Amino acid sequence: MLDIVKIRADFPILNTEAYPGVPLVYLDNAASSQKPLPVIQAMSEYYQNYHANVHRGIHRLSEEATNRYEVAREKVARFINAPDASQIIWVRNATEGFNLVAYSWGRANIQTGDEILLTEMEHHANLVPWQMLAEEKGAVLRFIPFMEDGTLDLSDLDSLLNEKTRLFSFTAMSNVFGTITPVKELVKAGHAVGAVVMVDAAQSVPHLLVDVQDLNCDFLAFSGHKMCGPTGIGVLYGKRELLEAMPPFMGGGDMIRRVHLTHSTWNEIPWKFEAGTPSIAEAIGLGTAVDYLTSIGMENIHAHEQFITNYALEALSEVPGVSLYGPPAAQKGGVAAFTLKGVHPHDIAELVDKDGIAIRAGHHCAMPLHKKLGVSATARASFYLHTTTEEIDKLVESLHRVRSVFRL
């Protein structure tokens, strides 16, 4: 088990108060994780000691910034076991990763009548870009349904995946249910019909050991801010042959090899997709976050979260009127989505906040999922490597106070 006391000491914000005399209980990690001190210090060090633009200067500051920036890329490559760091594209977030693939690969390869297969529980980031592409190209969107327990219904997968399927994109872990999907099995099924397969790993990379070579996916996207890293930085991984064949996403500086007045030639990957001044401090911060998570061990983090999630599901289920969504703890990540009969999730979140407890309430950028559930919104508590059973107990106590406020 993890040394939670030691880990919590690494996160300055966890030792603060939400309100005077009310300690913060942070249970909104699926939306954005807090940052450990090494990440904060690494970014501050960049601005204090060697701030300069990358790739363009020959002075010491630029050379050091460039080195740290590219070393961070190498760290991320090792973290997900990418064959080479050049297959790691810096983006602002996972959303930009999906849009990059939709714009660059999609517009070059999707034709009228082609099919794009998704699932009914996708985050909007892995839905809306494909809707836009399908509308523009005359393609057809198809969906794998989910069952009552929040797992995918794969009974019709053989018919949903067919010779018309050009792209298969799905989440590795649902941000609402927490469901861990059978990624390797789905990738294999997609490749069997000749489809390109993309994985939304925004919720899985921060919590599970992810190996892109073992999964054999064609593209994979995730965000830094959900894995102890800063906002404004994310990662798109792609297979080399696909990235090299794709046209650039944006034009400008750094993504070119030669520029003439009437035409240009493109830089090598990954820089072909990284136009303009990048998020330098953020990339360095993400590299440090990778160091931090690696030092603790992803297997240890996952084991702790399964323990905490099981504890939370059992505790929440004992609150009268609570309905939980998603599979058991053994099949999911550190997420507990729930409703409380007679109380809107927004009211739940507002009232528990008075007790210093930060949770999420709403549709969590998954409106079609909630529509199928027949609810407008859910409350969501989400956990990470620093979450304690005492914090879960405080949430449960606060929910009992919510019930009393509404006289339930």
Strand 219-223 vs strand 234-238: parallel, antiparallel, or unpaired? antiparallel
Catalytic residues: 365
Q: Where in the chain is the domain with CATH 3.40.640.10?
A: 40-295
pLDDT score recorded for residue 107:
97
Q: Is the pTM of this model over 0.85?
A: yes
Domain 40-295 = CATH 3.40.640.10: yes
Alpha-carbon distances, residue 28 vs 146, 214, 301, 331 (angstroms)? 24, 30, 17, 20
Residues of the chain with CATH 3.90.1150.10: 4-30+298-405
Q: Output the CA torsion sign for 207, 212, 215, 221.
A: positive
What's the CATH superfamily of 4-30+298-405?
A: Aspartate Aminotransferase, domain 1 (3.90.1150.10)
What's the CA angle centered on 116, arms 114 and 118, to 5 degrees?
165
According to the model, what pLDDT value does residue 315 have? Answer: 98
Report the pLDDT value the prediction gives residue 339, as an integer from 0 to 100. 98
Give the pLDDT means over successive 10-residue stretches in the chain (408 positions): 94 97 98 98 98 92 96 98 98 98 98 98 98 98 98 97 98 98 98 98 98 98 98 98 95 90 91 94 98 97 97 98 97 98 98 98 97 97 98 98 95
Residue 343 to residue 67: CA distance in whole angstroms: 53
Residue holding tokens 């050049």? 86
Answer whether the bond into residue 129 is a cis peptide, omega within 30°: no
